[in-house]
Structure 1
Amino acid sequence: MTPSHARPPLIVFDLDGTLLDTHTDLVESLNHTIAALGLDPVSYDDLTHLVGHGARVMIERACRLRGHPLESDALPALVERFVAHYAGNMPGRTEPYPGLVAAMDRLKSARYRLAVCTNKMESLALGLLEKLDLVRYFDAITGGDSFTVRKPDARHLTGTIERAGGDITRSVMIGDSINDIAVARNAGVPSIAVPFGYSDVPVSNLDPDMIITHYDELTPELVERLLREYAVKVAV
């Protein structure tokens, strides 16, 4: 049996604002959706307060921001409108963040496993990654509807780790928002925050275990160091 410390790590990524810069397409689909209610469009500056919990919550928050609280029975049709527009325009102007693909190539060459854990609907996450020819990198892709829970519930991350064939003691969560850092903390997994996503506060305020400012920094050596430091931290 392979000792846990010798097993290749699993790196679990958030999607929006972490793997992919999706802001233009999210804003366009959201504005298309709320236009059905005659509401003024939202902007990129609003996006940090809206994303992170999936399309349903994003629409609810956008409507509330525009002074139009929704009745629950109005949401399904709006979610359907959003999904149809977003899926129909993939990949739009969405693209991986600089250095991401090279970083994933480095990790895969070192036999690392990779996964995605996002609150975006699984079908949308999978469809987007397929359009960008990135699905081949991942051992598991889970969304906000893959389980009965979603981030920051620890079971979303632990379920993703299990699907990817990973070891929780050799896993790392990378994300851009409070949900990502919180789900890692709740699951007992070290976290890496990236500052170029959609957090409405500086990621340093979220108390991640590490911050990287560019994917050039994401190397096997850095991951192994983080895992060692985290093991010492939790043992104290």
Structure 2
Amino acid sequence: MSSIPFDIVGFDLDGTLIDTSGDLAAAVNHAIGTIGRAPFPAADIHPFVGKGARVMLQCALDASGGYDEALLMRLLPILLDYYAQNLAIHSMPYPGLVQALDELAGHGVRLAICTNKAERFTLPLMRQIGLSDRFAAIVGGDTVGVSKPDPAPIRAMVERAGGGRAIFVGDTINDIAGARNAGIANVAVGFGFLDGPIEQLEADAVIHHFDELVPLLERWSG
């Protein structure tokens, strides 16, 4: 019998399972480069990541000379098309993730993903990273017509993964609020695309490396 009191451990994708900032930065730089603006170092784009491509592009344009809605809407498809062709050039799992997934599987826990990233990017990214087969369910931002913090996609994730008691791991307020709205426990990671102190998320627990996840779940009470 598993010593982990959950049937399903669900994860956000960007900033939680995978550090996608390098490929997202490359897509932003490609888009703004088409109008002659200089590229940002990836580290400078990191604070723009985590709230969707539109916000990321908007922040980059604002920081590089401003924009209007027409320019934003012209460049967004350029960014998205480039990203779709370059999903896993720089993206990689966070340290300790694969071992944690192995340990969770060894406990008989089912794994699942609920991300606000659209399926057209999520599914091929997970295949290219080589992790798709580890997850019983993958729910994207457009899978059920709404995205986190609405509870519907997290509930869909749980249902598609076979049901049972679940906990959700993420890095943003959308993740933690979405889990809370769905009535399930949650864990925040301190290494993702945070836009403020992690304490502001008011998660049930916090980890700073994936080697902390399984021990945390083994001693979970309540």
Alignment TM class, shorter chain as reference: 0.7 to 0.9
Query: What displacement does 1:52 show?
Result: 2.5
Deviations 1:59-80 (A, max 9, x none): 23332343433326852x5333
Counterpart for residue 99 of structure 2: 102
2:127 is aligned with 1:130: yes
CA distance in 1, matches of 2:87, 2:102: 24
Give 1:128's aligned amino acid. Answer: L
Give 1:19's aligned amino acid. Answer: L
**Which of residues 204, 211, 216 is equivalent to 1:222?**
216
Deviations 1:85-104 (A, max 9, x none): 22222311111111111110
Counterpart for residue 64 of structure 1: 62
Cα–Cα, structure 1 residues 209 and 141, in superposed 2: closer, same or farther, change >3 Å? same
Gapped regions of structure 1 (runs ≥ 5)? 1-5, 230-236
The alignment yields a C-alpha RMSD, in angstroms, of 2.2
**What's the secondary structure of 2:168's corresponding residue?**
strand
Which aligned pairs between 1:103-122 and structure 2 lie closer than 5 A? 103-122=100-119
Question: Is the contact between residue 6 and residue 166 of structure 2 (CA under 8 Å) also seen in structure 1?
Answer: no
CA distance in 2, matches of 1:9, 1:224: 12
Gapped regions of structure 2 (runs ≥ 5)? none
Counterpart for residue 140 of structure 2: 143
**Which of residues 154, 165, 171 is equivalent to 2:166?**
171
In proportion to residue count, which structure has more helix? 1
Deviations 1:177-234 (A, max 9, x none): 1111111122111111111111011212211111111111221x532543x33xxxxx
Cα–Cα, structure 1 residues 72 and 174, in superposed 2: closer, same or farther, change >3 Å? farther
CA distance in 1, matches of 2:176, 2:5: 24
Which aligned pairs between 1:46-85 and structure 2 lie closer than 5 A? 46-71=44-69, 75=73, 77-85=74-82
**What's the secondary structure of 1:218's corresponding residue?**
helix
Question: Is the contact between residue 23 and residue 91 of structure 2 (CA under 8 Å) also seen in structure 1?
Answer: yes
Provide TM-score, normalisation by structure 1: 0.83
CA distance in 1, matches of 2:209, 2:190: 9
Provide TM-score, normalisation by structure 2: 0.88
Moved over 6 A (4+): none
2:179 is aligned with 1:184: yes
Cα–Cα, structure 1 residues 49 and 9, in superposed 2: closer, same or farther, change >3 Å? same
Residues paired across the two proteins, number: 219
**What's the secondary structure of 1:68's corresponding residue?**
coil
Counterpart for residue 37 of structure 2: 39
Cα–Cα, structure 1 residues 225 and 99, in superposed 2: closer, same or farther, change >3 Å? same
